[in-house]
A and B are shown apart, each in its own frame.
Chain A
């Protein structure tokens, strides 16, 4: 009987084997999942579930979500991409979305780092002060 701890340990080493220069290689990850499914080692479902969670966290860590009140021009997008790549290194996946609820300004989230320059964010800070 494999314990949850062993499955977690295996999932972590599986994730490490899917990384190249500290970045997740998607092809390797797919291949690893396929191999686990083919071989069906003991406790493989739990291993895959934990592996999925680790991959999810890894993707979130390397994804920048840029939200703005209105669509950003291509120049702005290029500028932001350059700045974020400079700060967080290469391999960053950047998504641009429009969120009218921000009222104005930008909100950028990379993993658990959040840069909130939106009007909504400032109003929230102000509301908290009361």
Chain B
């Protein structure tokens, strides 16, 4: 027994008691999730502050005598005079593959009831975007599975393509379709044991959305089997403005981990209009000076620093990429409002969705004239370029001619043919939601349209023709489809085989 006591005594005497220096402040004022703290002379910008009881704040305003901090979590328990401590850490979230298949909040905490996340790494929420040395130009495609997008507005890995449109025009659907399509491609490659395949992981950030909408989206992702390749970051409408402001940055940090580790990721910010509104709210409560439409002066920087973090890294830096699909909701189709113009100028192109087209039954309601992809054509696969090279121009001409033809004047044969072709292409591009098409099917269908196979099919039967052609090609000509997918271009013999296959189909089509 005496030996035990001696051992304990020796251990106690060996213990060194350390007194750490802490930087402490006192809450002077607390309102609407924002605290003003006196003291905290050592606080850093964006540093996490410990309010005690597990409540964390974020230092956003460093003033001469006090610090303005936003509270992450429940601020009702915080009282005037309470002590606040600096932590020496910037706000960070867990990252890594362990996050895939999970639904998390702004702080990376799971909210899906599937237990804790075993993430080994954490990333700071705010990070400087990769510099010019680390980057390379976009060269690999992101297959959205939406024929109109893949053919006319191609998106490359590392690109930032804005999805913009009024409410209920199918903005979210384009993002979800892309997630579903890439999950399908990932799964097929895994099953085939394709070692050269570069999977594209997705991050969906829901900002200020209704919980019912988020639940619906989750249900769609789960039903399509896309959730295992997706991280969902949720800052719903019922969450504080602080959480809504930070959610895209948290999602971006999770995406950056994939990029930094030589993988490819896609992030969808749904949507940045609500994000700007949340930031405006936080800024006004922090008493920052307001500018146009009461947004703070740095609202452009808010979005530019977020979207600049999406990049394609060079091979010397891992060859990873982060593609961003930010969504902006316009009011009455006004793209010249403050936030839409800001984000349009930051991104590498936009997909503009029109309400009129949507109600005419053209879904996805992509406006060909206003949509553009500034860098994506470099990433488009050759086969698609071969069949879709002229489609955008043809469609633009068709729209012009169609408007002209409404006056009922006689048209020459060439114009007539252009209009008839245009009508058929518009039909071909109609696609139901959550039903992305493999790129080889898109190539084959567009090949049929471009090579006059659809000219004698009535416009109202084009969809039926397309469906049956797709069935025919995927069942009876599966090897040809696989060859197109692998070769990624239409060589002479593949082109001839495709022509023969479509001719054979047409003989049976009635």
Contact = CB atoms under 8 A, between A and B. Distances in A.
Interface of A: 53-54, 57, 61, 109, 111-117, 128
A111 B43 CA distance: 13
Contact of A128 (B22, B40, B52): B52
B40 A112 contact: yes
Contacts of B19: 115-117
15 contacts: A53-B65, A57-B65, A109-B24, A111-B41, A112-B25, A112-B42, A113-B23, A113-B41, A114-B21, A114-B23, A115-B19, A115-B20, A116-B22, A117-B19, A128-B53
Nearest to B19: A117
Contacts of B175: none
Contacts of B65: 53-54, 57
Which of B22, B23, B53, B65 has most chain A Cβ within 10 Å? B22
Nearest to A128: B52
B164 to A, nearest CB: 40
Contacts of A117: 17, 19
Contacts of A116: 19, 22
Contacts of A128: 52-54
Nearest to A53: B65
A112 B22 CA distance: 8
Nearest to B50: A128
B21 A115 contact: yes
A65 B75 CA distance: 30
A56 B22 CA distance: 21
A111 B53 CA distance: 24
B44 to A, nearest CB: 14
A112 B39 contact: yes
Nearest to B37: A112
Which of B19, B22, B23, B40 has most chain A Cβ within 10 Å? B19
Given A57-B65, A128-B52, A114 B24 contact: yes
Given A109-B24, A112-B40, A128-B53, 5 more contacts: A53-B65, A112-B23, A112-B25, A112-B39, A114-B23
Contacts of B42: 112-113
Given A57-B65, A128-B52, A113 B21 contact: yes
A114 B22 contact: yes
Given A57-B65, A128-B52, A112 B17 contact: no
A113 B22 CA distance: 6
Interface string B35-67: 000111110000000001110000000000100
Nearest to A60: B39
Which of A111, A112, A117 has most chain B Cβ within 10 Å? A112
Contacts of B40: 112
Nearest to B67: A112
A53 B28 CA distance: 13
Nearest to A107: B19
A112 B52 contact: no
A112 B37 CA distance: 11
Contacts of A111: 39, 41
Contact of B24 (A54, A61, A112): A112
A82 to B, nearest CB: 17
Contacts of B17: 117
Which of A54, A114, A116 has most chain B Cβ within 10 Å? A114
A112 B21 contact: no
Contacts of A112: 23-25, 39-42
B226 to A, nearest CB: 39
Nearest to A87: B21
Nearest to B22: A114
Nearest to B54: A128
Contacts of B23: 112-114
A104 B149 CA distance: 70
A54 B64 CA distance: 10
The 5 A-B residue pairs with the shortest CB-CB distance, nearest first, are A112-B39, A117-B19, A114-B24, A114-B22, A112-B41
